[in-house]
Amino acid sequence: MKTIIIGGVAGGATCAARLRRLNEQMAITIYEKTGFISYANCGLPYYIGEVITDKRELTLQTPSSFKQRFNVDVFVKHEVLKIDRQQKLVVVRNLVTGEEFNDHYDKLVMATGAKAIRPNILGSELAFCVKTVEDTYAITDYINEHKVEKAVVVGGGFIGVEMVENLVHRGLEVTLVERLEQVISPLDYEMASFLHNELRHKQVNLLLGKELVGLVKEDNDIIVKLKDGEFKTQLVIFALGVRPESDLALNCGLELGLKNSIKVNEYLETSDKDIYACGDVIGIPHWLTKQESLISLAGPANKQARLVADNICGWKRVYLGALGSSIIKVFNLNAAFTGLNEKQLKAEQINYSKIYLSPNNHASYYPGSEALTIKILFELPTYKLLGAEIVGGAGVDKALDVLALAISKNISLLDLNTIDFVYAPPFSSAKNPINMASFIADNLATGQLKQCFIEDLGNLASGAYLLDVRTPKEYALGHVKGFTNIPLDTLRSNTASLPKDKPIYVMCQSALRSYIACAILQGLGYKAYNIAGGYRLYASVYFDALASKKTLPCGMERC
């Protein structure tokens, strides 16, 4: 039996290695059209940024090492031109010599991945894309040879933001152009605002809501033309996402799905039972909605590749989909998310609510403690977890992984309060953030807590009373217009001045002291509502809107 795999990296190479572990007699061949069979594509921006300095660190396996360890025949710089499904053969071209030949298969695996999007605009050829090791070397060489000082990255997704950070790390003046009003679109806007402020703090020229219409060469510069203006730079990098590399599948008559991805069943079989597919080229079910989705991530690709190998060997393993759990480093911040965001929940017309909390990543008295901003989305009335987003320093990945596990196992947010997590001051807090999130949900479910959100501030009834319970010093440094300052520790002695015939909306820095204030007020017969996320969340949105010269989303001004 012979299996041919088209494409290497996460999908193809993983599948080949698993096949060999399962079957020592099978003939296995990989054809890869680039010069590298297995490389750290997620690490490419960090080589450009000189964080990774040794080229050898990018290549995980070579054709010879793969042959030696797994007895797999690997041919790089070999492109599969055609698939003949009737005769079960592929037509291959050696890209070095130009020679073409046929190769027969019993089973075929399509791990062709995705190709970088290059927009159809004037001067598109003047920009680089970042997809392969060859792209990375070309950008690095160009920066060195032309002594580049200014660069533009078009696209604010993962690769775009990582490229921005690494170009700044190299000492370049960097502009980020993004058509949407935010970077990292899977995050909701208020969470992305923390990243916007961090990017600006690192002197990145952030142009959000701007559309690129063309590039023009002028001497040693490139004129970047936007819909509403233009400016000069020396280097342009497109990071506009990817689309499935499915031309081979289309030309041989395989069924395609979402955005021309290859359609597969639960066994990762294509419409031809002898052809499997995995990785960025296929559409997969979203874990929660079960709808076909494109989730171009290394984690799902590796899992799919393993299952393809298992199923070729007759195991009949089912692939259930992915949540899209992801994380990114943005200078001194990390941002992670899993599941569905608010935009998706509204589009799906799912009845949901949310909570925010801002715990420290470990005991506050232990040196190096950093605040996390956690947003959790859940279904009503079940409190079933639907999504989570976290921004902060160390510990973002740990908390997000727990929530991703809980979502995948259909665990209610209310059930997370009993889990015992490890604790010591350097690692966590005695009140673990995940337990605390569950406690907040329990307070909501029992009616102990009533909340509103910063986007509601502009719509509060004129008859409401607005209360800020931070210290006078905190209040003086900045507060929301219309809020009266009564510090929490003096609240009980000042309740006589508060109206009992009006709702009281309470704010503090992170919504913890305001929750305590609400408990006091409710216990004394007042109608009190905690403003989720607190002034900390409001200020992030406010300063982002101010820097972008946008209308403040929550309506109320800062003083």
Task: Locate 559 and state its tokens.
Answer: 């003083």
Provide the greatest CA pair distance for the chain. Answer: 90
Whole-number Cα distances in Å, 61 to 5, 15, 68, 175, 378 = 16, 14, 11, 35, 42
Partner residues linked to 328 by β-bridges: 335
Q: Could you please report the per-residue DSSP string of 42-66?
A: GGHHHHHTTSS--GGGTEEE-HHHH
Task: Locate 97 and state its tokens.
Answer: 């010599």
Give the active site residue among 42, 452, 508, 518.
Answer: 42
Bond preceding residue 381 cis, omega within 30 of 0: yes
554 is catalytic: no
Q: Is 56 exposed, middle or buried (0-12, 13-18, 19+ CB in 10 A)?
A: exposed
Calpha distance 62→326 (Å, rounded): 28
Task: Locate 104 and state its tokens.
Answer: 């027969």
Task: Locate 86 and state its tokens.
Answer: 């009737």
> Phi and psi of 48, rounded to 5°?
-60, -35
How remote is the C-alpha of 545 from its chain's centroid? 22
Calpha distance 471→378 (Å, rounded): 33
Whole-number Cα distances in Å, 140 to 56, 136, 255 = 15, 6, 39
Strands 89-94 and 78-84: antiparallel
Are the C-beta atoms of residues 241 and 194 closer than 8 Å to each other? no
> Phi and psi of 140, rounded to 5°?
-60, -45
Cβ-Cβ contacts under 8 Å for 354 (sequence gap 6 or more): 342, 375, 376, 377, 378, 453, 532
Whole-number Cα distances in Å, 263 to 277, 317, 491 = 9, 17, 61
Calpha distance 247→251 (Å, rounded): 6
Calpha distance 384→8 (Å, rounded): 38
Residue 493 DSSP symbol = G
Residues designated as active site: 42
